[in-house]
């Protein structure tokens, strides 16, 4: 076993294979609501941009083309309310950035990184890769003043819970981190998908007032534009920090392909396809939420994002098994932290037909 693999947890989705096999045995096939992978078409304007840039024989720019940097900065200003001097950087999707950001920032043994109590597993993975210590804390007052914190992860809208953090909370986190010289990294990949609450970016003037010192926002085009297969993400925030991250990425070859960079420009400059995709997800969300509540589930948070955070007040694996026997695959809350042991995550990323099938199956006694 290599030194790196020995510090990592089991890959969560491997643990779901038995339930997936059980669900696949349903006479009408599996309804996979476990992974938030888009199933709808890539917008035509984005596909055309990719095709037009296909003849790209030279090395792409790690920093992104001038057109892409302008598109990212413009989108952050329009959609996130950022008015200050921004540093921006394209990334190879957002997962690789989440996994490697602690390393890129020089986090190492003896350092501590704060992550949400219930959160995306890759935050912890990225910390473990550096040899630093993970602290799970939704309330930063629980972290002692002498604690050597190097990085604070926040996630709003949250994966998996769909919780939206208000501007006041974000301001407190930024102030707390700055007092300690820590970086705040805000994962905002679901920013365009607010339902019962409007997501607020850490870059918004009401949070940072145009001063992005020590602050980074992570965004993705996977969800809003169905570009998970393109691996298209980006970073915005503190120009000095982004300059340091860029220097390391240049040395290590972390570069989005040139055609993908062109496709990102098209996606960021067009909001019509986002409105259409939101309409699809809103309908699926209504169908699934209604069916889950009728089946005896309680929905927690879920104000935004692509998931319903549901519980029956029992161990999450028992709920996963109940659903799998009806051909529905859900993600167990245990994937997202010990505090989530009685919840399951239900994704809206299935076709209308499969979502309708799941809703119909939920009418059967669980």
Half-sphere exposure of 164 (CA within 13 A, CB side): 19
- Predicted confidence band of residue 5 (pLDDT cuts 50, 70, 90): low
**DSSP letter string over 76-118?**
HHHHH---S--EEEEEETTHHHHHHHHHHTT--TT-EEEE-SS
- Distance (Å, whole) CA 156 – CA 187: 7
Q: Tell me, what's the pLDDT at 138?
A: 76
Q: Which pTM was predicted?
A: 0.94
**Which domains, from first to last, does the chain contain?**
3-41+273-361 (3.90.1150.10), 56-269 (3.40.640.10)
Contact 101, 151 (CB under 8 A): yes
Report H helices in the chain: 3-6, 17-24, 44-52, 66-80, 95-104, 122-130, 167-180, 205-208, 239-252, 258-268, 272-294, 316-324, 352-361
pLDDT tens-digit profile of 283-324? 999 999 999 999 999 999 999 999 999 999 999 999 999 999
Give the pLDDT of residue 3: 66
Q: Cα–Cα distance between 176 and 141 in angstroms, integer?
A: 9
Q: What is the mean pLDDT of residues 69-80?
A: 97
The tens digit of pLDDT for each residue in 14-64 reads 899 999 999 999 999 999 999 999 999 999 999 999 999 999 999 999 999
Q: Contact 122/154 with Cβ under 8 angstroms?
A: no
Distance, in Å, from the CA atom of 309 to the CA atom of 298, rounded to the nearest integer, reads 8
Answer whether 323's CB lies under 8 Å from 331's CB.
no
**Each residue's pLDDT tens digit, 98-146:** 999 999 999 999 999 999 999 999 999 999 999 999 999 877 666 666 5
Q: Is the pLDDT of residue 154 over 90?
A: yes
Q: What is the pLDDT of residue 141?
A: 65
Q: Residue 328: pLDDT above 90?
A: yes
Looking at the predicted structure, is the pLDDT value of residue 1 above 50? no
Taking the C-alpha atoms of residue 104 and residue 96, their distance in angstroms, rounded to an integer, is 11
Q: Among all chains, which residue has been given the structure tokens 């029956």?
A: 312
Confidence class of residue 9 from pLDDT cuts 50, 70 and 90?
confident
Q: Kindly state the percentage of the chain with pLDDT values over 70.
A: 96
Query: CA 80 to CA 60: how far, in whole Å?
Result: 27
| Integer Cα distance of 272 and 280 in angstroms | 13
Question: Does pLDDT of 6 surpass 80?
Answer: no
| Sheet hosting strand 133-136, strand order edge to edge | 87-92, 232-237, 215-220, 183-187, 149-155, 112-115, 133-136
211-226 mean pLDDT: 97
């Amino acid at each position: 076993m290599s030194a790196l693999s020995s510090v990592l947890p089991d890959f969560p989705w491997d643990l779901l294979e038995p339930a997936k096999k059980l669900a696949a045995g349903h006479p009408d096939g599996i309804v996979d609501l476990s992974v938030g992978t888009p199933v709808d078409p890539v917008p035509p304007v984005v596909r055309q941009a990719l095709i037009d840039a296909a003849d790209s024989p030279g090395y792409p720019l790690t920093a992104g083309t001038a057109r892409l940097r302008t598109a990212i900065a413009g989108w952050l200003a329009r959609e996130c309310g950022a008015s200050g001097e921004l540093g921006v950087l394209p990334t190879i999707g957002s997962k690789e950035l989440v996994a490697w950001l602690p390393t890129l920032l020089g986090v190492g043994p003896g350092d501590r990184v704060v992550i949400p109590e219930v959160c995306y597993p890759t935050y912890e993975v990225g910390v473990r890769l550096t040899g630093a210590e993970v602290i799970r804390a939704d309330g930063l007052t629980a972290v002692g003043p002498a604690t050597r914190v190097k990085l604070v992860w926040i996630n709003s809208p949250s994966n998996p819970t769909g919780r939206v953090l208000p501007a006041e909370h974000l301001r407190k986190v930024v102030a707390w981190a700055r007092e300690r010289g820590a970086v705040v990294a805000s994962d905002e990949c679901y920013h365009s998908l607010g339902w019962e609450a409007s997501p607020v970016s850490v870059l918004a003037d009401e949070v940072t007032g145009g001063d992005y010192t020590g602050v980074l926002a992570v965004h993705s085009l996977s969800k809003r534009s169905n570009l998970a297969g393109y691996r298209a993400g980006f970073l915005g925030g503190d120009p000095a920090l982004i300059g340091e991250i860029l220097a390391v990425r240049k040395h290590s070859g972390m570069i989005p392909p040139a055609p993908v960079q062109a496709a990102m420009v098209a996606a960021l400059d067009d909001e019509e396809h986002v409105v259409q995709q939101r309409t699809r997800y809103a309908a699926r969300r209504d169908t699934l939420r209604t069916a889950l509540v009728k089946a005896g589930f309680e929905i927690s948070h879920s104000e935004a994002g692509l998931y319903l955070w549901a519980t029956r007040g029992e161990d999450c694996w028992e709920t996963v098994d109940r659903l799998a026997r009806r051909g529905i695959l859900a993600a167990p809350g245990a994937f997202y932290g010990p505090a989530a042991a009685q919840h399951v995550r239900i994704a809206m990323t299935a076709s209308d037909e499969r979502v309708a099938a799941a809703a119909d199956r939920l009418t059967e006694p669980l």
